[in-house]
Amino acid sequence: MRGQRLLRAALAGGAAVLLAGCSVLNALPFVGGPEKPKPAELQPDPNLIAVRQAWNARIGRIDFPLVVAVDGNVAVAAASDGTVAAFDATTGREQWRGSAGAPLAAGVGFDGSTAAVITRNNDLVALVSGKEVWRQKLGALSYTAPLVAGARVFVLGGDRSVSAFDGGTGRRLWSQQRQGEPLVLRQEGVILAVGDTLVVGQGGRLAGLNPLNGSVRWEAPIATARGINDIERLVDLVGRVSRVGDTVCARAFQAAVGCVDTTRGAVVWTQRANGSEGVHGDAASVFGTETDGKVVSWRRSDGQRGWTNDKLLHRGLGTPLALGRAVVVGDAFGFVHLLSREDGTLLHRLATDGSAVAAAPVAAGNTLVVVTRDGNVYGFVPQ
């Protein structure tokens, strides 16, 4: 994997190699490696959608796999130094700010009351209104934001173990350990609730777990390991996912995109795809970015390609967001591109502070929330 940083870390159950799989890294120079392709020149902005910047706030520098959590009109973000803050998405007003007391490895999970993050010291920290209410030591590294749901906090470890904690007290309820992969990704994995099932990514599979005790209800393979070495065989599932009803669509790292019916644990379809970022979508389509910077639409019904946009090659695109008539995607240079859902053509472009977009854009109420690596939080609204 050219241009990607390899780290070694001791995980529960044995040693593993961690890969920094974020495509933003692919757009930046790699010391001692081959020269990177030149990023595509930006097209003229057609300004076909009227959007204005409504507010700007600060959270602090970000160098970990941030997930911006949304509950209603509240957006919660975090900085590398452990700062966690909630913002009113309409006005940008800060509702509360707290600290995990140490640099962060993953975050944020939020259910409207409790926010949860994971520190680089392997501490799971829960905060309410910015005040720490409990912390628990984890048995493995994690780069996936905790899931806060049903008065519980669920954690997906870097070794793809899954643990559940009482949301009020932090008491460990159960832990499910699986055979560790020789390689795991140092980026967000997959964990979400669908009805009464906890859905997690483990290797190239989606697994449905009983949230009460961690027992496995079903497993559905989106990709199967291939190749002759551990790197070529890496097919870890990466967040975010696209959920519509009981169907969840996800990406297997540089291998495939596929959809699973979570009521039966059955694969609906899979298609080969070479990307390292998650997907998003709507009832008709699934949208994703490829490693080289193409933006792709797949039909949700059968996985056939709808359209491909190749105008943003080598710009370090992140995970897209389907929003209104647009597919929103940030790049490594601080631009946010709004593409047509129908054919992928450019509708509008938004500028931020010039640093990479740090997390997948999110919608909170009527506001598009974007966070950059330099720690600026932006709220954009239609005019």
Quick one: pLDDT at residue 13?
Answer: 35
Per-residue pLDDT reduced to its tens digit, 136-148: 999 888 999 999 9
Quick one: pLDDT at residue 226?
Answer: 72
Quick one: pLDDT at residue 87?
Answer: 98
Predicted TM-score of the model (pTM) = 0.90
Token pair belonging to 170? 């932090």
Q: Which of helix, strand or coil describes residue 342?
A: coil
Residue 274 pLDDT exceeds 60: yes
Residues 196, 17: Cα–Cα separation, whole Å: 33
Q: Determine contact, residues 71/193, Cβ cutoff 8 Å.
A: no
Contacts of 32 (CB under 8 A, 6+ apart): none
Show the beta-strand stretches assigned E in 203-272.
205-209, 216-221, 237-244, 247-252, 256-261, 266-272
Question: By mean pLDDT, which of 3-12, 86-95, 249-258 is the weakest?
Answer: 3-12
Confidence of residue 383 (pLDDT cuts 50, 70, 90): confident
Confidence of residue 344 (pLDDT cuts 50, 70, 90): very high
Percent of the chain with pLDDT over 90: 82
Identify the CA nearest to 307 among candidates 331, 337, 283, 285: 285
Contacts of 292 (CB under 8 A, 6+ apart): 37, 274, 313, 314
Structural domains of the chain ordered from first start? 6-382 (2.130.10.10)
Q: Which of 8-17, 30-39, 194-203 has the highest mean pLDDT?
A: 194-203
Quick one: pLDDT at residue 14?
Answer: 36
Residue 207 pLDDT exceeds 50: yes
Q: Which of helix, strand or coil describes residue 25?
A: helix
Per-residue pLDDT reduced to its tens digit, 26-44: 334 334 556 889 999 999 9
Average pLDDT over residues 180-206: 87
3-state secondary structure 270-319: EEECCCCCCCEECCCEEEEECCCCCEEEEECCCCCEEEEECCCCCCCCCC
Per-residue pLDDT reduced to its tens digit, 112-130: 999 999 999 999 999 999 9
| Mean predicted lDDT score pLDDT of the chain | 90
Quick one: pLDDT at residue 11?
Answer: 30
Average pLDDT over residues 351-372: 97
Question: Where do we find the tokens 């967000």?
Answer: 188
Higher pLDDT, 163 or 3: 163
Residues 202, 255: Cα–Cα separation, whole Å: 15
Quick one: pLDDT at residue 232?
Answer: 63
